Chains A and B, each alone.
Chain A
Amino acid sequence: MAILVIAEHDNASIKSGTLNTVTAAKKIGGDIHVLVAGANAAAAAAAAAKIDGVSKVLLADGANLAHPLAENVAPVVVEVSKAGGYSHVLAPATTTGKNVLPRVAALLDVAQISDIIAVEAADTFVRPIYAGNVLATVKSADAVKVITVRTTAFEAAGEGGNAAVENTAAGAEAGLSRFVGAELTKSDRPELTAAKVIVSGGRALGSAEQFSAVIEPLADKLGAAVGASRAAVDAGYAPNDYQVGQTGKVVAPQLYLAVGISGAIQHLAGMKDSKIIVAVNKDEEAPIFQVADYGIVGDLFSVVPELMSELSK
């Protein structure tokens, strides 16, 4: 049995979600091969070869793969998975994985199992449904199991591998889509889904200015990533990729601070697996307190500055 992991990368390096996905592959058991589909991506392939547990890296390198357009990447994955006779095809459940992998599944005429959080057997997996309020154990009857992996549910694989890198065909330009541009949020902070500490702000911040003035210094002090509730993102206080929740990012840091967030189930779905949750809210009845390990009832505009000065001591 061999498992194909689709790497997420920026052509130069491997993104952390790939490491968690390799760990999920190890739980399934079998040879683990990693596919790097990109343009001038030899450096990313070399990095993939060092991941512990990986026995082979396949590099599909072509201008048509410069951006991970699903229309161009999916056929490459399908070709590689057919040629290699893989039993499983895995990708991290990031926006890239979620975009590409269902396209692969449909081309292979198999179901996709989305966002798994545990491996019970080579054909049986656990996945959350209904905003994480229910865990379903599902068994697949398909010959090839196409799976996206919730990265926070699996440890990151370490280094120590020494896999061979082989070239494979990059396929043709599908001619269906074109990359026009990107506006990426610039930040020196850790990436949300991999961060050890997260400070999230909600609607209570009241404006983009106050969001940055209150949340960001606290995050900087803690070396934390910044998150937000949907309400804060919808109102324009924070960029879209800060949204934590059922329909945003799922995070599980060591410490999650929810500041001025009520704790709607859609928000909890994205953070309730955090190790320690701290809530700051002026309403002592706010549902966030039902999941918080430590709560402070009070006005965030005075609590956060106090917290800042305590942390400086």
Chain B
Amino acid sequence: MKVLVAVKRVVDYNVKVRVKADGSDVDIANVKMSMNPFDEIAVEEAVRLKEAGKAGEIVVVSMGPKQCEETLRTALAMGADRAVHVETDAVLEPLAVAKLLKAVAEEEQAQLIVLGKQAIDDDCNQTGQMLAALMNIGQGTFASKVDLADGSVNVTREIDGGLETVSLKLPAVVTTDLRLNEPRYVKLPNIMAAKKKPLAKKAPADFGVDITPRLTTLKVAEPAKRSAGIKVASAAELVAKLKNEAKVL
């Protein structure tokens, strides 16, 4: 059973991004980039399924500029077998990414497609659901547990009230939440070995997919900053302030 994992290159979660002076966009030149943390969890899950003998080949795919190759190499070092890079410098919205992923998933005949629940840059939380819609298959979003059986997968989902389990017919899309697993650290020999694993190059045009953006960013701005308040010396003082000054008690 083949597993396809989508990995996105994003600004590292430790970086606090700044807005460009003209307010046209965020300034991400020269900041540290990493694999989207939810996608690390996605790769880890696929590798664990393979190690448990439940999955066969693991193909990882990324859409975006040349540097996505690094992200794909990281996924290969974690244990994926093969990579596909759909290279483009164009702005890709989730719908376009989903259309490209559908083309790749169909070409690969993947049975399980694993994505992150959200990319920590745009925080859209859309791509997996859109992909499942376009492929007319089931979706197990915000997964904290994935149980693969014959022809189906049980997914436990983190929902507002707690947890929910759904059973999906394969092929299916799963999007990862934080508690699904803890991704492994890649070791140097694996990084070396990953350099030899196959990485195929494609372009959006190869799939005949229209990737024209539907949204225009008119401006970006930093939100009003909260200023630090005061330190109080005791619980008594705090309660007094909350009652008399802030009036929230």
A, B co-complexed: yes
Question: How far is the CB of A217 from the nearest CB of chain B, in Å?
Answer: 14
Q: Taking the complex as formed, is A105 at the interface, i.e. its CB lies under 8 A from any CB of chain B?
A: yes
Assuming the contacts A110-B214, A246-B120, asked whether A99 and B141 have C-beta atoms less than 8 A apart, the reply is yes
Q: Inter-chain contact count A-B, CB under 8 Å? A: 260
Instruction: Choose, from A21-29, A158-166, A175-183, the stretch at the interface.
Output: A175-183
Q: Taking the complex as formed, is A149 at the interface, i.e. its CB lies under 8 A from any CB of chain B?
A: no
B: number of interface residues (CB 8 Å): 82
Assuming the contacts A141-B216, A180-B154, asked whether A289 and B228 have C-beta atoms less than 8 A apart, the reply is yes
Chain B 108-133 interface residues, beta-carbon cutoff 8 Å to A: 117-118, 120-133
B17–A139 contact, CB under 8 A? no
Docked Cα-Cα span, A293 to B218, in Å, equals 33
Docked Cα-Cα span, A277 to B241, in Å, equals 12
A131–B139 contact, CB under 8 A? no
Residues on A with C-beta less than 8 A from B123 are: 114-115, 128-131, 246
Query: Interface size bucket, A side?
Result: 35 or more
B231–A297 contact, CB under 8 A? yes
Q: Taking the complex as formed, is B220 at the interface, i.e. its CB lies under 8 A from any CB of chain A?
A: yes
Q: Taking the complex as formed, is A83 at the interface, i.e. its CB lies under 8 A from any CB of chain B?
A: no
Question: Main secondary structure on chain B at its contact with chain A?
Answer: mixed
Residues on A with C-beta less than 8 A from B17 are: 130, 133-134
Question: Main secondary structure on chain A at its contact with chain B?
Answer: mixed
Docked Cα-Cα span, A249 to B178, in Å, equals 13
Docked Cα-Cα span, A161 to B166, in Å, equals 36
A136–B169 contact, CB under 8 A? no
Residue with the highest number of chain A CB atoms closer than 10 Å, among B167, B169, B229? B229
A130–B26 contact, CB under 8 A? yes
Residues on A with C-beta less than 8 A from B154 are: 180
- In the complex, 17 of the A-B residue pairs with CB atoms within 8 angstroms, ordered by the A residue number, are A70-B139, A106-B95, A129-B121, A133-B222, A134-B19, A134-B222, A176-B136, A177-B139, A178-B166, A182-B161, A184-B161, A240-B158, A255-B246, A276-B246, A276-B248, A294-B229, A296-B233
Further 6 A-B residue pairs, CB within 8 A, beyond A69-B166, A139-B216, A176-B169:
A98-B141, A105-B95, A106-B98, A114-B124, A124-B218, A141-B214
